[in-house]
Chain A
């Protein structure tokens, strides 16, 4: 079994390397100077888009180049589709074969669209009918970040904590497994990932005193294969003999208990609502763990393991291989759940297998993905709450004057609670070697208060108000060179960026703004080449695919919302600076710029006559 897997992986590896070597952009130099996606995790593009991150390496890069710098000016709408749900549309559409799959925010409707027909009519609709009360325990709009496709099935999560397998051809339900309990504040908003016949799912609810976990369900039956908690004793966290972290600070028995006040780990957060990557070569999955609860750090002295960090685990057993705590004793709600991009690149002259993470705390981390060693951590945004990471110890040095204190307003902390960037994922182009990071430029005032734990209600203990950071712009798209450890270029945006980016072999970068603009930039210079105004603000994840007619299409969902767009979808009142945990104060003018929506836009070049 093992041998077969290794051989097959090796074959894929060799094939991919050959293909990569054949690509002219990569053949220029014999000595590697550029980053490339982990070969085993980024097979050649087949024109489909079967998982939100495009591939296990999470590049969100399409090898299609029909739409490029020369042709993009003619890009136009091919068809649209109204989802009928007007909350924040954070999901990536998927395309497999001749079908596109779209999942909506609560009530989590799943649509299959027939791409072979003009206008892409609905093939089937699946209604999971989640509990309405789940809306009351979704911290930041009741969004859904997408579905996963594998072996003829679509796997989806519902807001009320279920994972459901649906037959891709018919929309028939195959199985459903209840994983979360809304009465404990648990919801599920993340996109599942299917690895080796297992559906990986994690919970949300870090603002409700839940206990975070990641679980693996058998893709065939929906039975739980393993479940790893991110707080509590080692046996619950699946820490055993395989666990070999790089840093001493991650070593010790039952740190998930001893780094907390008595029993606080039971309601300590560490959820898994973000992204998971997989390296078939090392046979490790990578996932982040979210913020500890409550936000008020003085209520939980200690490092609060295993929150705010990155785990590498064995996908078959869930056993941890390594862990790196990005933010021990998190002070600012800095969930460590952002995208994890698997790149191989030269670091100090030698090729390293890395995992790259633009983190909420404003640093872009490059870790050795075999060991968990931090190879570099460079700021990509304005930071005044910390001064940097000591690579020897892995410790992040915090600025004492910016630490939250009870009974005191700590002013002008940068970045904010949602961080320099939140969940919305970057993309990586192997042609340019650049990472395209959608992020924010906000700062905040913070006052801690004592949080009371009442199951099913928020467990936060902080009042926050956010505002624009230095320069006054609230959003930014940065093209980052991970080898040179520097920004190649960046583009300022008025509003915070809450959409993902897509990069393509046409050397274009696509992203959306909260006002509703969908834009294409030159991937090498950042020059804007095309824009289109959609019906509502964009916070979704754009994708590119090859249609049944052989042409390249670009798709994105438009519909403002999420934490950043709460002021619009909840019609919140900006006179209260702390509304939506302080985000409303930073985007009070968004109501004047956009309204709610929920529409798919698909773009293509005009068909040749």
Chain B
């Protein structure tokens, strides 16, 4: 019954187990790895038939994590988001630090806006930024108006200190948020 083949298999299994036993305790200081897939098609309004769908589980993962928010802050500059939105006060594009959201205020809405672009000038970054990094940028955008936990929001600025760091941003309760498009006067 004990074939050489089976013995070698069990040896291999033992070896694997032994190796595994040598592993250090696993920690995830930078957050758990997250699957690379965009959100379910986002709703175009804020009215739902029945109950609204539960939020994307990635919300918690990204918005509550200081590392992801800090990465997002850096990527926001590296991908030239600041070229149009400044440090949240806006320029060619709308401000991101206030309570007005043209295409929706949720993390999924912001993710979709970055990936898809928007008709009045927001460029599409589809296939130009890794999805994980888009989630990080989107989470950082939420931190600009105090939508993320204070403990996780960035606590300092790297450059000209244009405004207090996100950690000190007062929470601006989103108003008129309409994922489907520009219903906001004066905003594109």
Is there an interface contact between B80 and A454, defined as CB atoms closer than 8 Å?
Answer: yes
Contact of B122 among A136, A464, A570 (CB under 8 A): A136
Q: Tell me whether A458 and B80 are in contact in the complex, defined as CB-CB below 8 angstroms, given that A463-B159, A579-B95 are known contacts.
A: yes
A456 CB-CB contact with B under 8 Å: yes
Q: Tell me whether A465 and B121 are in contact in the complex, defined as CB-CB below 8 angstroms, given that A575-B97, A576-B88 are known contacts.
A: no
Q: Which residues of A contact B95 (CB under 8 A)?
A: 570-573, 576, 579
A179 CB-CB contact with B under 8 Å: no
B128 → chain A closest CB, angstroms:
8
> What CA separation (Å) do A409 and B117 show in the bound complex?
33
Is there an interface contact between A577 and B162, defined as CB atoms closer than 8 Å?
Answer: yes
> What CA separation (Å) do A409 and B158 show in the bound complex?
11
Is there an interface contact between A133 and B119, defined as CB atoms closer than 8 Å?
Answer: yes
Q: Which residues of B contact A515 (CB under 8 A)?
A: none
> What CA separation (Å) do A465 and B86 show in the bound complex?
11
B94 CB-CB contact with A under 8 Å: yes
Residue among B78, B86, B91, B95 with the most chain A CB within 10 A? B91
Least CB separation from A455: chain B residue: B123
Task: Produce 1/0 per residue, B161-173, CB < 8 A to A.
Answer: 0110000000000
Is there an interface contact between B119 and A132, defined as CB atoms closer than 8 Å?
Answer: yes
Q: How many residues of B contact A (CB 8 A)?
A: 33
> What CA separation (Å) do A458 and B93 show in the bound complex?
11
> What CA separation (Å) do A135 and B123 show in the bound complex?
10
> What CA separation (Å) do A137 and B186 show in the bound complex?
18
A107 → chain B closest CB, angstroms:
11
A574 CB-CB contact with B under 8 Å: yes
B151 → chain A closest CB, angstroms:
22
Q: Tell me whether A458 and B160 are in contact in the complex, defined as CB-CB below 8 angstroms, given that A133-B120, A452-B78 are known contacts.
A: no
B38 CB-CB contact with A under 8 Å: no
Q: Tell me whether A566 and B79 are in contact in the complex, defined as CB-CB below 8 angstroms, given that A132-B121, A135-B121, A580-B86 are known contacts.
A: no
B85 → chain A closest CB, angstroms:
9
Contact of B83 among A132, A135, A458 (CB under 8 A): A458
Least CB separation from B91: chain A residue: A580
> What CA separation (Å) do A574 and B97 show in the bound complex?
10
Tell me the chain A residues, 452-475 only, with Cβ under 8 Å from chain B. Answer: 452, 454, 456-460, 463-465
B89 CB-CB contact with A under 8 Å: yes
Is there an interface contact between B97 and A136, defined as CB atoms closer than 8 Å?
Answer: no
B36 → chain A closest CB, angstroms:
21
Tell me the chain A residues, 272-330 only, with Cβ under 8 Å from chain B. Answer: none
Is there an interface contact between A576 and B162, defined as CB atoms closer than 8 Å?
Answer: yes
Is there an interface contact between A136 and B88, defined as CB atoms closer than 8 Å?
Answer: no
Is there an interface contact between A572 and B89, defined as CB atoms closer than 8 Å?
Answer: yes
> What CA separation (Å) do A578 and B85 show in the bound complex?
10
Task: Produce 1/0 per residue, B49-81, CB < 8 A to A.
Answer: 000000000000000000000000000011110
Is there an interface contact between A566 and B91, defined as CB atoms closer than 8 Å?
Answer: yes
Is there an interface contact between B160 and A457, defined as CB atoms closer than 8 Å?
Answer: no
B43 CB-CB contact with A under 8 Å: no
Number of A-B contacts (CB under 8 A): 122
Q: Tell me whether A135 and B80 are in contact in the complex, defined as CB-CB below 8 angstroms, given that A463-B160, A465-B162 are known contacts.
A: no
A445 CB-CB contact with B under 8 Å: yes
Contact of B121 among A136, A409, A445, A566 (CB under 8 A): A136
A584 CB-CB contact with B under 8 Å: yes
Task: Produce 1/0 per residue, A567-602, CB < 8 A to B.
Answer: 001111111111111001000000000001000000
> What CA separation (Å) do A578 and B78 show in the bound complex?
17
Is there an interface contact between B121 and A133, defined as CB atoms closer than 8 Å?
Answer: yes
B152 CB-CB contact with A under 8 Å: no
Contact of A447 among B78, B79, B160 (CB under 8 A): B160
Residue among B83, B100, B128, B186 with the most chain A CB within 10 A? B83
A138 CB-CB contact with B under 8 Å: yes
A449 CB-CB contact with B under 8 Å: yes
Is there an interface contact between A579 and B90, defined as CB atoms closer than 8 Å?
Answer: yes
Is there an interface contact between B123 and A456, defined as CB atoms closer than 8 Å?
Answer: yes
Least CB separation from B90: chain A residue: A572
Is there an interface contact between B159 and A579, defined as CB atoms closer than 8 Å?
Answer: no
A51 CB-CB contact with B under 8 Å: no
Q: Which residues of B contact A566 (CB under 8 A)?
A: 91
> What CA separation (Å) do A47 and B83 show in the bound complex?
45
Task: Produce 1/0 per residue, B94-121, CB < 8 A to A.
Answer: 1101101000000000000000010111
> What CA separation (Å) do A566 and B94 show in the bound complex?
10
> What CA separation (Å) do A133 and B159 show in the bound complex?
30
B103 → chain A closest CB, angstroms:
14
Contact of B123 among A136, A447, A459, A571 (CB under 8 A): A136
Tell me the chain A residues, 324-355 only, with Cβ under 8 Å from chain B. Answer: none
Is there an interface contact between A458 and B84, defined as CB atoms closer than 8 Å?
Answer: yes
> What CA separation (Å) do A451 and B79 show in the bound complex?
9
Least CB separation from A136: chain B residue: B121
Is there an interface contact between A570 and B159, defined as CB atoms closer than 8 Å?
Answer: no
B87 CB-CB contact with A under 8 Å: yes
> What CA separation (Å) do A444 and B50 show in the bound complex?
54
Is there an interface contact between A570 and B186, defined as CB atoms closer than 8 Å?
Answer: yes
> What CA separation (Å) do A465 and B163 show in the bound complex?
11
B92 CB-CB contact with A under 8 Å: yes
- Chain B interface residues (CB < 8 Å from chain A): 77-80, 83-84, 86-95, 97-98, 100, 117, 119-123, 128, 159-160, 162-163, 186-188
21 A–B contacts, CB within 8 A, in A order: A133-B120, A139-B92, A452-B78, A457-B79, A457-B83, A457-B84, A459-B80, A463-B160, A465-B162, A570-B91, A570-B92, A570-B187, A573-B97, A575-B89, A575-B163, A576-B86, A576-B95, A578-B89, A579-B86, A579-B87, A579-B95
- Chain A interface residues (CB < 8 Å from chain B): 132-139, 207, 409, 445, 447, 449, 451-452, 454, 456-460, 463-465, 566, 569-581, 584, 596
Apart from A574-B89, A580-B91: 5 A-B pairs, beta carbons within 8 A: A135-B121, A137-B121, A445-B160, A579-B87, A579-B91
